[in-house]
Copies of this chain bind each other. A is one copy, B any other.
Amino acid sequence: MARTAGSHSDITGPRVREAALSLFAQHGYAAVSMRQIAKDVGVQAGALYNYTPDKQSLLFDLLRGHMDELLTARAQERVPDTPLAQLEAFSKFHIRFHLERPLAVFISYMELRNLTPENFATIEELRRRYEGQLETILRDGHEAGAFHVVDTKITTLAIIAMLNGVNTWYRSGGRLSLPEVEAIYWDMVRKAVT
């Protein structure tokens, strides 16, 4: 046996990435074998190497793709005039974007240590760029007298951590709708900095 009926690169390729994303999120990068991913796709392990040079690239491409999407989506958002409105837009954007991609968000935080040093540096730089946007909003708002923040850097990290926490409990179709969640978190963020 060899090539199977209906096999197509543009079908198998995405399925490999989907299977890897799902399995990495469930069990962790190190705990998932190439044979498990292959089984999920319905293919032999060797066939995966038509779509990725190695296992490490599979992880790295998922993380870089996620960060690229994040920065691109953020760049397309309208930027309001006042610091307060900017902070609201950022908070709600962050929650919405993250709730739409729970698995990618999850591995983007959990699997950083399984990246090679070079790959880690790349992802870290993208993350720094994103979080820097929040820090800029806070600093501008602080200088304009709109916010009361003791330490801009730490406040940035505290807000990001709080917003990311939403992924630990939110399940779509649950008790609260997305706008309700956005409102609750924005309420807490706003009060924490004013």
Contacts and interface: CB of A to CB of B under 8 A. Distances in A.
Contact of A184 (B151, B166, B168, B181): B151
A156 B192 CA distance: 15
B161 A157 contact: no
A189 B114 CA distance: 33
Oligomer: number of copies: 2
Contacts of A184: 150-151, 154-155
A78 interface: no
A27 B181 CA distance: 34
Contacts of A27: 30, 113-114
> Which secondary structure characterizes the binding site on chain A?
helix
B154 A161 contact: no
> Which of A166, A176, A188, A189: most chain B CB closer than 10 A?
A188
Interface of A: 26-31, 110, 113-114, 150-151, 154-155, 157-162, 164-166, 168-169, 176, 181, 183-185, 187-189, 191-194
Q: Which of A26, A187, A192, A193 has the most CB of B within 10 A?
A: A192
Contacts of A188: 155, 158, 192-193
Contacts of A31: 30, 114
A60 to B, nearest CB: 16
Contacts of A160: 165
Ranked 8 nearest A-B pairs via Cβ: A161-B165, A30-B31, A30-B30, A162-B162, A188-B192, A192-B192, A150-B184, A158-B162
A27 to B, nearest CB: 7
A69 B188 CA distance: 30
Contacts of A161: 161-162, 164-165, 168
Contacts of A28: 28-30, 113-114
